[in-house]
Each structure stands twice: as C-alpha cells, then as structure tokens.
Structure 1
Amino acid sequence: MLKRLSSVLLVCALGGASAVTYPMTVTHTAGSTTLPKKPVRIVALGPHALDLLLSLGVQPVGYGEASTFLKTPAFGSPIRDIKYLGSRITGSPINVGDRFNPNMEILAALKPDLIVGEDYAAPVYPQLSRLAPTLLFKGIDRNEWQKTMLVLAQALDRTQAYNTVLKAYNKGVQDTRAKLAGPFRNKKVLVVWTAGGDAKYTYTISGRSDWTGGLLNDLGLNVIDGDKRDQVISIEGLVALDPDAVIVLAAGTSTPARARTDWNANPLTSRLRATKANQVYYFDYHLFRRIRGPIAAQLIERQLLNAVPR
C-alpha cells in the first residue's frame, strides 16, 4: 500500500522518527505524486527550490532559472554561477532553461528521478510529470517554506537535516532580533520594491504576511502594510504613509546603488521622517524576495546587521 503524506502526517513522522519507506505518495500544490524510490537525481526549478534542497544537503543535477539571473544562460550547459547560492553548490548542475517552462529535451537527457519547483510551473506540470515525479509548491507567504521543506525532507529521507536547519534558522532569527532591537524599537517600517527605469518612482508594498515582510517582522521590525499588501504607490503615497524607516528593494533594471540615487534625487522623499533620520536602507530584490529559504534568510540577516548602525 502506498504511503500517503500530508503536513499532519509529516509532523507525526518527524516526532516519531519513523523509518521512511518507498514507494510513497506526496501531496503538493499540483496534486499527488508517487515516488517509487528515494530520489537521487533531482532538478531544482527556481531559486526557492534550490535554497530548500541545498539546505537539506541535496546537490541538484539540473537547475532552471530566468536567464537574466544567470551569467552563463546557455541551456544544456553547466551553470557556472548562481547568484547568492552558488557558493553552496559543489557539483555542476545543468541549465535546463526557464524555471517555469524548462527545456523538456534537456530535462529528459538528465534522467531525473525528481523535479522540484513552484506552482507557477503548473501549466507544464503534465509534461514534467511524464519525465519524472514532479513536486510543485507555493512559497510566497510567511514561513511557507517551512511547510515545503518538511514535505521535501520526508520525501528525501532527510528529516534530521530539516530539524537541524530549522533549529539554526530559529537561532539566527533570535540572535538578529536581539541585535536589531535598538535601531528599530518603536519604529514603523515600510518595505517596498521598485523596478527602476521609468518606474523608478513607483513602489510596491511588501506586507507582513508575505515572505519578506514576515521574516523582517520576525526579526523585530514592525513592518506596516500601508493600505494593503502588493499595493502600488507613488512617492506621494510614501509621503502620506510617512514611516519611521524604509527598506527599498531594487528589482528589474535597478540596483541598490541606483535605488539610493533615485531616492535622494527626488525632493519629495526628503520630507519623509525616515530620510531625515537616515533610516532608509537599500537591498537587492533577488535576495530579499525571490529565493525565500533558510539560506536567503541567513544572508538577509547578515546584510541587515552590516547596513544598520547599532
């Protein structure tokens, strides 16, 4: 009889340290998938999946990402550099193409026994499933990665690694929270991102219920939502909110340095109390919003501690 997994059963399995047996059936966003044996050759579609797999000690044989984030975007070739996560990779994963619509021929040639991605790849899920067992997950909400990693840990027989990662994550959050308590005490913090270029004075709000705002809130920052999460606002909207501190994430064609220049070049931002108090901080959207895993959280904590005077 196939072993069917759910979040509840997984928690029980972790607590009871029961042996993992195959075949097993895993429930995920796109449905239920049976793993006939312990996966060894695994493809990660996107930085979120890659972070979770690397955190569990899994080195993927293939990786899919938007070409704009790869220095060697040639499909079918080994990836030489993966931003923020490359130092954790010991092998030479093959570039399988776009993370939401990968090259099926390249995938087939890798002969994977598991493909892991996000639910954005749902349109090609049938094709992926014909090549190998495929698991798709959500990952944009606060602490959702922990649920996903729990499922992956059980599916890959790495529950001890999961426990170790979660313990280290919680300790990192507690330590960073204590160090940031002074600079952000009683401060309302607004987190926004901007794509630069023609949209350099348009901002989108990251709320406390998404991954970024949730992590920062756990780190002791009182993240405010404005009117609502993902609301697009102008500089006039920022002035109306007038937060005590602002975290600006540079996306698209922007960079943290450009975002700082654009911010300082506009006279309206000088009205903000955050600007007057020198509490506007600039970071990379890719790290703060796209990866969404324990490795990214650790790197974010380091950047915050380096950027914020204490």
Structure 2
Amino acid sequence: MYSYIKAKLVILFTVLLVLVGCDNKKEQQPSVKTVTIEHSQGKTEVPDNPKKVVVFNTATLDIMDALNIPVTAVPQSDVHYPTFLSKYDSKEYTNVGTLFEPNYEVLSSIQPDIIIAGGRANDAYNKLNDIAPTISLDIDYNNFLGSITQRTRQLGDIFHKQNEADKLLADFNQKIEQLKQKTSTAGSALVIMVNGGKMSAYSEKSRFGFVFDVLGFKPATTFQEAGRHGNAVTSEFILSVNPEWLFVLDRDNAIGNKEAQSAQQVLNNELIKKTSAWQHNHIVYLDSTSIYISGGIQTYSHLMDQIDVALQTELAH
C-alpha cells in the first residue's frame, strides 16, 4: 500500500513540474509588439516593423519606395507601373493579383505580417483582413497635404523610418513653397483628363486638385461636383473658360492603351487653338502613368518638376 501511494505521489509531482515548466515557457515567450494605426477603414493593430509586407495601394507603394521600405509582394497582373516603380514588375516580388482583385490563394501561402490595401483594393478589405492585419492608407483629396503627411508619418512609425519620413516631408514641403512663389502670378489653370477621345475637367478638392489646392493656381472655373471621374467638358467649354494654363492627363497612355487617340490629337483642333493656353504654349502634358496609377510623394514631386520647367521657360521669355 505504501509503495502504491508513493508511486502516485511521484506521478503527481512529475505532472506538476511539467505544468509549471509549460507556464514558465509561456511567460518567457516575448509578446509581439504592435502599433495602432488609424486608417480609412478604422483602427488596426499591426506588427511593429513587419517583415512580410504586401502592398496593393500604389500611392502607398510610392511613399514606401521613397522611404526604402522592403516589400514582399505587389499586384503585377494588368498593372502599368510608372517608370520609377517599374522594379515592382520583377520576379523579385511575388505577384498577388491585380489592383482590384487579389489572389487570395497566393496571399494565404505567403502568410504576410501586414497587408496595405486601400485605393482600388478597398472592396477587398474584409477578405484581406481575414488573412493578415490590413490597413487602408488612402489619401484624402479634401485635405491632400495634411493627409499625405499623416500617411508618410504612419509608415515611418510602423517601419522605424521616422527620420527618413521627416526628411522626405521636409524636402517635399520645401519644393511646394518654392514653386508657389511662381504660381501666384502665373494666371488661371484648368486640369483635364483625356480618355477615349473624351475630356473631363477637375477643380479644387478633387482627385487631381493638387494644382489648385497645394500649388495655388487660380481655377479657370469651378464645378459643383468634384467627382472621382471629373466633369465632362468639350472644346467649346474649354474655350469659354479660356484658361491661361492647361494641365493634361492622358488616361489611355497611363493604362497602356495604344489604340485610342492621344491627348495631343484630341486637343489639336481649332477651338483649343484659340485658347490663351494654346497661344502662349502653356499646355503641359503631365506624366499620366505616374499620376493616374500611383499618386504618392514621388509622383507629386515629379509633377512639380514638370510644372517648374514650364514656368521657368515662360519666365525666360
């Protein structure tokens, strides 16, 4: 009897040691540090300085590229990246579908630490968030400068690039201030996008309102609606508002459609030739792929370079 009780006690003691050991292991495991990010779809806790990073939002990818943040996977199917982001077409990065339709099977196999969605992938947010913590760092065009500043700083916080973010924003703001000194007396402007031979115009607080909201060009006209797809206009309308500067985006060129009329062909007509912009050689064909497909800090920095060259040419005359 004594031996039986002794054996039972030994077994119980051994079990207790195992349980205590397991608890100690749990206590010793380091907790994963996280960062809480407020974004266009809510608030999300994401890993601090994540390593496996998937990016669907091209505007965010633009900023991340400027901050030298490593990326694991991006959409590559039917994506026409601008030249400065063309490296993301390479096999170095895993293809996770299109900008609109993620490849969930590939995403699950990657097991990402974080997914950065938003932009064209907004509708996929819930499914993406089931795979990994997902944030949508969209830029608010009603508050462009404040919004792009916030998004850049958030990326700096997540990926330990705070100093780089400060430097990037300082250079960006300096370029804006230098250009605004020239735009204040440059005259009125109109921003149009040509798509399939038709034209749409954009004014303040719109998708392409940067020229007015940030750079300070005077709008040649205003629109009640600032819809994402702009306001349909004709050559007659453009002549009637008669802008001194005409900034042009070519959507077909941006998406790689070689069959449609180019923006230059569409604008080459007798009505546009009567405008002040045409007669003073103030029609600027912007880097459409960069602005339409991307839209981060590098994009708008390039846009400012283009406009600065045009203004310098005017001043030289």
* TM-score normalised to structure 1 length: 0.77
Partner of 1:61: 72
Tell me which structure has the larger Cα radius of gyration.
2
In structure 2, the gaps of 5 or more residues are 1-31
Paired residues for 1:160-171 under 5 Å: 160-171=163-174
Letter in 1 for 2:175: G
Asked whether 1:263 is paired with 2:263, we answer no
Per the TM alignment, residue 91 of structure 1 is displaced from its structure 2 partner at its CA by 8.6
| Distance in 2 of aligned mates of 1:91 and 1:177 | 41
Contact 2:188 2:245 in 1 (8 A): yes
Partner of 1:49: 60
| C-alpha spacing 1:251/1:243, structure 2 compared with 1 (3 Å) | same
* SS of residue paired to 2:252: coil
Partner of 1:14: none
Contact 1:45 1:118 in 2 (8 A): yes
* TM-score normalised to structure 2 length: 0.75
Per the TM alignment, residue 62 of structure 1 is displaced from its structure 2 partner at its CA by 0.7
Letter in 2 for 1:148: R
Number of positions where the alignment pairs a residue of Structure 1 with one of Structure 2 = 271
| C-alpha spacing 1:91/1:188, structure 2 compared with 1 (3 Å) | same
Contact 2:56 2:117 in 1 (8 A): yes
| Distance in 2 of aligned mates of 1:173 and 1:67 | 33
* SS of residue paired to 2:33: coil
The equivalent position to 2:201 in structure 1, one of 199, 202, 205, is: 205
Paired residues for 1:169-180 under 5 Å: 169-178=172-181, 180=182
* SS of residue paired to 2:160: coil
Per the TM alignment, residue 262 of structure 1 is displaced from its structure 2 partner at its CA by 2.3
Partner of 1:127: 127
Asked whether 1:299 is paired with 2:299, we answer no
The equivalent position to 1:26 in structure 2, one of 15, 25, 37, is: 37
Per the TM alignment, residue 170 of structure 1 is displaced from its structure 2 partner at its CA by 1.1
| C-alpha spacing 1:140/1:98, structure 2 compared with 1 (3 Å) | farther
| C-alpha spacing 1:85/1:281, structure 2 compared with 1 (3 Å) | same
Letter in 2 for 1:284: D
Asked whether 1:136 is paired with 2:107, we answer no
Letter in 2 for 1:234: T
Structure with bigger helix share is 2
Instruction: State the Cα RMSD in Å.
Output: 2.9
Paired residues for 1:91-102 under 5 Å: 92-102=92-102
Contact 1:205 1:226 in 2 (8 A): no
| Distance in 2 of aligned mates of 1:252 and 1:261 | 12
Contact 2:37 2:46 in 1 (8 A): yes
Per the TM alignment, residue 307 of structure 1 is displaced from its structure 2 partner at its CA by 4.3
| C-alpha spacing 1:66/1:269, structure 2 compared with 1 (3 Å) | farther
| C-alpha spacing 1:225/1:84, structure 2 compared with 1 (3 Å) | farther
Identity of aligned residues (%): 19
* SS of residue paired to 1:191: strand
Per the TM alignment, residue 271 of structure 1 is displaced from its structure 2 partner at its CA by 2.1
Per the TM alignment, residue 89 of structure 1 is displaced from its structure 2 partner at its CA by 9.6
The equivalent position to 1:227 in structure 2, one of 214, 223, 227, is: 223
Asked whether 1:157 is paired with 2:174, we answer no
Asked whether 1:278 is paired with 2:274, we answer no
Partner of 2:214: 218
Per the TM alignment, residue 224 of structure 1 is displaced from its structure 2 partner at its CA by 4.1
In structure 1, the gaps of 5 or more residues are 1-20, 71-81
